[in-house]
Amino acid sequence: MLIFAVSACPASKKVDDIIINEVKQEEKQIEINYANEEFLGVLIRFDYINNIGRNVVTYDLIEPERNQYYKDLIKSEMKRYPDGFFVKQNLKTISIVQNLDVAGKGRLGGTYIYDHNIIFININYMSDDYFIRALHHEIQHLVDYRYFDRYFIEWAQWRELFEASDKSTHSGFISDYARLNPKEDRAEVFGHYMGLERTKNNFLQKAKNDEIFYQKAILLFTFYKERVDFNLLDDFLLEMNH
Ligand SMILES: [Zn+2]
């Protein structure tokens, strides 16, 4: 990888060789970057991001032949958001990787690194359903950061519903992971609602049979309608009446 390791003993290398190596390195870089694309103001990328502390986030590149597939999937999901959403939320990059590890812990889904405005999505062992849920889950963290974390605001109404939920019976929780804390809980609510048909149907069934979960959905979607300019509430209420 590091062709310029030759500079340790420059006298042994002819200038021509070094120039040829520089050109090769540049061509390789272009080849890797070819799949990257800016879409709705966000750079979708597949290559290494050097300015993220590599001790905090580590990952491997995905096989290039899979780039297009995942890029199309990401783009079709991004199109479901209102115009200007990603610019307004200040998301700069979505990076699709494998073997994602954050601070020494492997991540099945993804992670949102707020100080770099970047979402990583891990593809290991993932079905499309899981991949899509992971993307929307991380987008909820992005929204959360913008409206709450940044100003150190606690969402008291959410915490009340979280505390009224039951970790052993799953009453109020859409998934195991949702039980972790209020923030993961709402990321799971949002991620599941935005999921594929089966996931979405499970969500609606749960909302019909679980009062606390229903209240969470209403609270989150009202917030989206009033504060984020993304109206999920009206659709949800219609779906509940079917
Ligand atoms: Zn999360």
The pLDDT tens digits for 120-131 are 999 987 789 999
Burial of 24 (0-12, 13-18, 19+ CB in 10 A): exposed
pLDDT of residue 5: 34
Tell me which amino acid residue 104 is: G
Q: How far is ligand 1, taken at its centre, from the CA of residue 31, in Å?
A: 33
Closest CA to 46 of 56, 37, 54, 55: 37
Q: How far is ligand 1, taken at its centre, from the CA of residue 189, in Å?
A: 11
Q: How far is ligand 1, taken at its centre, from the CA of residue 111, in Å?
A: 7
pLDDT-derived band at 13, boundaries 50, 70, 90: low
pLDDT of residue 4: 34
Q: How far is ligand 1, taken at its centre, from the CA of residue 72, in Å?
A: 23
- State the helix-helix crossing angle for 211-227 and 182-193, rounded to 10 degrees: 80
In angstroms, the CA 17 to CA 39 distance is 38
In angstroms, the CA 56 to CA 93 distance is 17
Q: Give per-residue pLDDT as tens, 141-178.
A: 999 999 988 878 889 999 999 999 999 999 999 999 99
Q: Would you say residue 6 has pLDDT above 50? A: no
Q: How far is ligand 1, taken at its centre, from the CA of residue 180, in Å?
A: 9
Pairing of strands 37-39, 105-106: unpaired
pTM of the model: 0.84
Tell me which amino acid residue 10 is: P
